[in-house]
């Protein structure tokens, strides 16, 4: 019985030691972070520019970059227009209803395409639909859940 009491006492002592160590570790981590943010961990190079100068230079570069025309959007719009044109050709050749995924695949927009690109393509398809040039039919299962869309190019 006495060895059990001694073992429990030893466990209590160890638990207290671990708790104290954890508190010390947390405090030491905070001290290290505080010193790091104050620049006290490594000697400062006198040749380094002050942070204020660096930040001013970064701001100036950002402002300069914002003035430049954004080429990427124009290129993306041209790519989408080319895909839509190809999609119209694919639908015209089919002459009848084509599952949307199959039509996209024939246009080169396959699995793994960027979601952004697919959304842009759908936006263009909605424009064609509103203009009366495209018919879209939702294919559903027995419970009414949408499985996929079929597309058909209309005369016009």
Residue 4 lies in a domain: yes
Q: What is the pLDDT of residue 75?
A: 67
Rounded mean pLDDT, 19-24 = 96
Q: Are residues 25 and 93 in the same domain?
A: no
Tally of helices (H runs) and strands (E runs) in the chain: 5, 3
- pLDDT (tens digit per residue) in 127-136: 888 888 888 8
Q: Domain containing 134: what range?
A: 71-153
Residue 108 lies in a domain: yes
CATH number of the domain that residue 142 is part of: 1.10.10
- pLDDT (tens digit per residue) in 23-50: 999 999 999 999 888 878 888 778 888 8
Q: Which residues contact 153 (CB under 8 A, 6 or more apart)?
A: 88, 91, 92, 94, 133, 134, 135
Q: Are residues 86 and 139 in the same domain?
A: yes
Rounded mean pLDDT, 4-9 = 90
Cα angle 93, 98, 101; round to 5: 115
Residue 65 lies in a domain: no
């Amino acid at each position: 019985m006495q060895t059990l009491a001694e073992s429990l006492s030893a466990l209590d002592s160890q638990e207290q030691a671990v708790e104290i160590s954890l508190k010390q570790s947390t405090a030491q981590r905070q001290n290290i972070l505080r010193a790091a943010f104050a620049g006290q961990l490594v000697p400062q190079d006198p040749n380094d520019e002050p942070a204020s100068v660096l930040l001013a230079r970064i701001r100036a570069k950002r402002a300069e970059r914002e003035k430049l025309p954004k080429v990427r959007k124009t290129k993306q719009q041209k790519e989408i227009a080319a895909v839509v044109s190809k999609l119209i050709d694919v639908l015209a050749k089919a002459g009848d209803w084509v599952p949307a995924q199959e039509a996209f695949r024939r246009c080169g927009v396959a699995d793994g395409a960027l979601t952004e690109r697919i959304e842009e393509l759908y936006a263009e398809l909605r424009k064609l639909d509103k203009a009366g040039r495209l018919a879209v039919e939702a294919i559903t299962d027995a419970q009414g859940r949408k499985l996929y869309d079929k597309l058909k190019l209309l005369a016009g």
